[in-house]
Amino acid sequence: MKNEVLIYTKNKETLEFLREFFKENNEYPTIFIKDNKSLLNRLNKKKPDVLITGSPDELKGISYSKIGCTVIAMLSGDITNGIRSVIKNSVESYLISPFHKEDFEYKLNAAVNKTELAKSIHYEKKDLETVLELIHIISSTLDPKEVLNFVVSKIAEIIDVTRCSIVSIPFEEKRHAYVIATFENPKIANIKLDLKNYPEIRKSLSTRKTVVIRDASKDPLLKEVRHIIAPLNIRSIVVIPITFRSEIIGTLFLRTSRACHAFTDREIRLCTAIASSSANSLYNAFLYEKMENEKLQLQKLAITDYLTGLYNIRYFYHRFAEEFSRTRRYKFHLSCLMIDIDHFKDVNDKYGHRIGDIVLRKFSDLLKKHTRKSDVLARYGGEEFIMLLPQTPAKAAVAKAEALRVLIGKHRFSEIERKRRLTVSIGVSSYPARTIKNKEDIITVADNTLYKAKSNGRDQVVFHNSKIQN
């Protein structure tokens, strides 16, 4: 099933960009919503994989915590207020006008991947709970029939199969198998099957491996019995061997007649776990470990910029609040550098956005390499970066900024011609200072001094109203 993208914005420029983008890229089904009420109704009926909006303020009356998917904000106009609104509403991803298709595609793919990862974690959690429940049943009853019926009923409940049976094949038996549990009727037992009509079971027995039939109407394994299967409208079949002390004692045999949906890899994994849970508790540990690893991946994705690997601005503001509180409590110094690559648009125009992205990543790596562990470095947006320097007075912050300016000016980026060098403009602010009353002023002052550095000719560091000479 393709990922669904919901679009709601009143900005004509943004709408035009999005319509053109999705006209060329039909990988994701898109739905354009015209008004706030329609959006709310749509969200109540079905959660999209991604919601794209303009300024977060457009979503009046809708709690971001209840949207249920990743939100991408397309900011235009007052960018500073737009970013503050993004942070205030905990929007996870945003772009700044003018929009570029490559940049938006990165953001969209990252948002879709994050949604899919969240879904995967949800299902893995449910699967783990199912396996643990089965283990509890096994350990609390001496009635094997009860356990077997629980297994088939639980699989049918979670996966919605047409048939789900546990088939026993006695050690001395080669031609027949016996259905000992089926979810269709718990009272059914010991139904005799002629293995001649079940080549998938025979193959599972001979290979000692799971057999998956994605499409029963086309799989060559079922050629000899296709006339039997066709009237039953069976689409997909899975046969999972159940082993005990290296001996195959039976199979977990599932059938589904879903018209256009074969068993997924996740469903097969779950069935395998259930089939072996009584004999292989290690699988449960693996499932739990996998879920924890995916949680860590999701947490990392939530605080990391998709392109550069640096912290994103949302996490920066979180750390910024912590550091400012600590600075005031213990009367420390706190400095901030606002860094902007000069004329980076020329790089994109001359070499293309793909090369521009590579240069941005290498530039970010260079900054990160010369950042202390205690510092907080984040991508502010586009080719602009922000660095927080805890316990750093103004003089040291200016020296750090100047060292970075010189370092970057000398660095050779192999993707662009040798005679062209990247330069940066850096605005510096430091607390405490007469012009800084609160934490918001630290960012504002750094932003204003960066603007002065660019207005004064670029490739320089500016601290408050004083220009640092090259």
| Residues listed for the chain | 470
Give the number of other CB atoms < 10 A from CB of residue 341. Answer: 21
Q: Give the angle 149-153-157 at the CA atoms, nearest 5°.
A: 170
254 in Cβ contact with 216 (< 8 Å):
no
Q: How far apart are CA 295 and CA 88, in angstroms?
A: 24
End-to-end CA distance of the chain: 58
Query: Catalytic annotation on 133?
Result: no
Give me the phi and psi of 147, to 5 degrees please. Answer: -65, -45
Are 52 and 18 a contacting pair, CB within 8 Å? yes
Q: Compute the distance between CA of residue 399 and CA of residue 369 in angstroms, rounded to an integer.
A: 17
Closest CA to 69 of 87, 91, 85: 91
What's the CA gap between 276 and 332, in Å, rounded? 59
Q: In terms of Cα–Cα distance, which of 87, 34, 38 is closest to 62?
A: 38
Per DSSP, 436 falls in state: B
**Burial of residue 16 (number of CB atoms within 10 Å: 0-12, 13-18, 19+):** exposed
Residue type at 395 in one-letter notation: K
Task: Let me know if 210 is exposed, middle or buried by CB neighbors in 10 A (0-12, 13-18, 19+).
Answer: middle
Q: Alpha-carbon Rg of the chain, whole angstroms?
A: 30
Residues with Cβ within 8 Å of residue 41, at least 6 apart in sequence: none
Q: Which candidate in 92, 383, 384, 402 is catalytic?
A: 383
Q: Is 70 exposed, middle or buried (0-12, 13-18, 19+ CB in 10 A)?
A: buried
Looking at the chain, the number of H-run helices and the number of E-run strands are 14, 17
Q: Residue type at 304?
A: T
Distance CA(78)–CA(88), nearest Å, equals 15
Q: Residues with catalytic annotation?
A: 383
